[in-house]
Amino acid sequence: MALGNSKALRPQEPEPTINITSMMDMFTIIVFFLLFSYASKPDEFAVDKNVDLPESSSSFDYSNSVKLFLSDVHIKIEEDIVAQMKGGKVVGLNPDKPERSSLYQSLKQYKEKQISDAKLVAMETGEEPKSDFHVLFFCDRNLTFKTMNSIIKVAAAAGYPNFQLAVMEK
């Protein structure tokens, strides 16, 4: 009780204020930095967690195309799983008859769609239709060339002889 009385009798102190101007400046800089770094990036997409990309000194930006994710578990084209992998081999892929595989069929479908889209764009713009289509290849760093090569061959047979290999910038 005595303590309460003494508190009440004490002369009133001015309410302390924190100067938040410097903090505001810092936050403004962070927000602008994040907004600009966010805007300068090309479209983002989720890389499969099974795919650990290798590092490279390449500074070339990828262009939007058919994305093929190759891990030791499965092969994904865009968002769809098109084939399963077992022991470094594509399940259901006969190297002598690649056109029968689901991987080939899917790539062929994408190619046809890209060609028809390019024709539509060409009709609108009056320019030559685009023909340099490629596959953006996301491959796990520990996969062997034998596995990669079997898929590269199928992609080339489906009309994609040019690739972009996705890597992480060093």
Quick one: 28 or 116, whose CB is closer to another protein?
Answer: 28
CB–CB of 153/161 below 8 Å? no
Smallest separation (angstroms) from another protein to the CB of 20: 6
Quick one: 66 or 167, whose CB is closer to another protein?
Answer: 167
Q: How far is CA 62 from the centre of its chain?
A: 10
- Residue 48, judged by CB atoms within 10 A of its CB (0-12, 13-18, 19+), counts as middle
The neighbouring-strand residues paired with 75 are 70, 83
Distance CA 83, CA 67 (A): 14
Smallest separation (angstroms) from another protein to the CB of 121: 22
Which range touches another protein (CB under 8 A), out of 73-81, 96-104, 112-120, 161-169? 161-169
Among 58, 72, 108, 115, binds another protein (CB under 8 A): 58
Token digits for 26? Answer: 């810092």
What φ, ψ does residue 139 adopt, rounded to 5°? -125, 140
Quick one: 55 or 117, whose CB is closer to another protein?
Answer: 55
CA pseudo-torsion sign 121, 122, 124, 125: positive
Give the residue from 47, 65, 53, 161 showing the smallest Cα distance to 113: 65
Give the residue from 105, 98, 50, 39 showing the smallest Cα distance to 77: 105
- Taking CB under 8 A as the rule, which mask of x and - marks residues 12-51 in contact with another protein? --------xx-xx--xx-xx--xx-xx--x--x--x----
- Taking CB under 8 A as the rule, which mask of x and - marks residues 70-99 in contact with another protein? ------------------------------
Smallest separation (angstroms) from another protein to the CB of 62: 4
Residues that bind another protein (CB under 8 A): 20-21, 23-24, 27-28, 30-31, 34-35, 37-38, 41, 44, 47, 53-63, 134, 136, 139-146, 148-149, 152-153, 156, 161-169
